[in-house]
């Protein structure tokens, strides 16, 4: 059996755990295992053998076992499809539903997709690996800023805007804004800016001297500053929390649990020589659903 593995999007701590588990399984079963990685020098895809040395270099030197592929390259990579067709089966870590459906529809190999995403954007699953850790990192960072702002009183309204990863409206954007009691901004029109300015002024008049705003990469915080400054006298500051901060070395308990359950499910699928399927979380259970559904 020839097995391949590929990763799209940010590599989480759980990603490494899953890849290591798959490598160890293949070593015990004498299964040929290769990863499909992105070569930034040649700007192309290539194969990388995954073996015991890969594990040792990761454990001892923190050398990444498998580089992730940029999602925006996939539909233009005929070579990638040819590489995938070399394998009997392929484990796809990360990516969105549109991407993995494209792979399944254009290859002959049996594909198992694993929902790994810090923005929880894989259609069909309630939760993706990496999301809970990213949510915790972002919320904790904003709450620290909020505590600092609350302890310093200015003579005018203070507005702090946090930009987080993602360009589409998604769970991460919504959940962060709810958790920090911030104002969510996404594709605003003129009426939105009028209403937001009114809301911020009302808060200030009630003695709440600061407001928190949450945007993703669809919105330029400098544009937020410009629009609000036209309507209010404010002290405006913003920061950006990037993907690397969201996938740090300390996953939450939920993500640790998901990594173990996903790893066990992958091994069961490999042992059964499963057909193309999606690993999903539904009703707090990890399931395998046929890709034709």
pLDDT digits 0-9 by tens, 37-75: 988 888 888 999 999 999 999 989 888 999 888 877 665
Q: Rounded mean pLDDT of 182-203? A: 96
Return the half-sphere exposure (C-beta side, CA atoms, 13 A cut-off) of residue 111. 26
* Domain final position from 229, 246, 263: 246
Cα(2)–Cα(110) distance, rounded to whole angstroms? 11
The pLDDT of residue 293 is above 50: no
CATH of the domain at 47: 3.40.50.450
For residue 252, give Cα distances in angstroms to 79, 129, 238.
37, 10, 26
Domain count, the chain: 2
pLDDT at 147: 85
| Inter-residue contact 93 to 65 (CB < 8 Å) | no
Alpha carbon distance 114, 274 (integer Å):
14
Pick from 236-240, 247-251, 259-263: least confident: 247-251
Q: Are residues 68 and 163 in the same domain?
A: no
| Pair 120, 150 in one domain | no
d(CA 80, CA 78): 5
**Mean predicted confidence (pLDDT) in 144-153:** 79
Same domain, 152 and 216: yes
Check whether residue 229 and residue 156 sit in a common domain: yes
Do both 220 and 125 map to the same domain? no
List the one residue out of 87, 91, 128 whose CA is nearest residue 109: 87
Burial string for 27-47 (b: 16+ CB within 10 Å, else e) reads eeeebebbbbbbeeeeeebee
CA distance 270 to 264: 10
- CATH number of the domain within which 201 lies: 3.40.50.460
Report the C-alpha gap between 173 and 216 in whole angstroms: 7
Supply angle C-alpha 10, 7, 259, rounded to 5: 75
Name beta bridge partners: 113: 92, 278
Residue that the structure tokens 């004498």 belong to: 30
- Is residue 113 within 8 A of residue 278, CB to CB? The reply is yes
Are 279 and 215 part of one and the same domain? no
Do 92 and 138 fall within a single domain? no
The pLDDT assigned to 75 comes to 56
Q: What is the pLDDT of residue 73?
A: 65
Which one, of 267, 222, 191, 220, lies nearest residue 33 by Cα?
267
Q: Tell whether the model's pLDDT for residue 274 goes beyond 60.
A: yes
∠ CA 283-287-288, rounded to 5°: 145
**How far apart, in whole angstroms, are the C-alpha atoms of residue 280 and residue 286?**
6
CB atoms closer than 10 angstroms to residue 225: 17
Domain co-membership, 23 together with 142: no
Q: Which domain holds residue 161?
A: 132-246
């Amino acid at each position: 059996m020839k097995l391949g593995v590929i990763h799209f999007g940010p590599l989480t701590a759980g990603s490494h755990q899953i890849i290591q588990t798959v490598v160890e399984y293949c070593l015990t079963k004498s299964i040929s295992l290769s990863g499909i990685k992105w070569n930034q020098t040649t700007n192309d895809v290539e194969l990388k053998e995954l073996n015991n040395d890969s594990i040792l270099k990761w454990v001892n030197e923190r050398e990444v076992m498998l580089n992730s592929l940029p999602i925006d390259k996939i539909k233009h990579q005929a070579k990638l499809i040819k590489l995938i067709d070399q394998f009997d089966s392929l484990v796809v870590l990360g990516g969105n539903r549109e991407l993995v459906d494209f792979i399944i529809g254009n290859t002959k190999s049996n594909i198992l997709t694993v929902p790994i995403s810090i923005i929880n954007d894989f259609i069909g699953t309630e939760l993706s690996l990496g999301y809970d850790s990213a949510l915790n990192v972002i919320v904790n960072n904003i709450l620290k800023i909020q505590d600092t702002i609350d302890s310093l009183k200015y003579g005018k309204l203070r507005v702090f805007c946090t930009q987080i990863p993602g360009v589409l409206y998604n769970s991460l954007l919504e959940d962060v804004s709810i958790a920090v009691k911030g104002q969510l901004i996404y594709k605003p029109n003129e009426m939105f800016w009028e209403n937001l300015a009114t809301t911020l002024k009302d808060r200030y008049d009630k003695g709440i001297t600061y407001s928190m705003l949450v945007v993703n990469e669809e919105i330029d915080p400098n544009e937020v500053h410009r629009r609000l400054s036209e309507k209010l006298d404010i002290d405006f500051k913003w920061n950006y929390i990037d993907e690397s901060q969201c996938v740090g070395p300390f996953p939450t308990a939920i993500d640790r649990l998901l990594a173990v359950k996903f790893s066990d499910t992958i091994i069961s699928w490999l042992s059964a020589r499963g057909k193309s399927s999606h690993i999903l979380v539904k009703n707090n259970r990890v399931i395998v659903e046929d890709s034709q559904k």
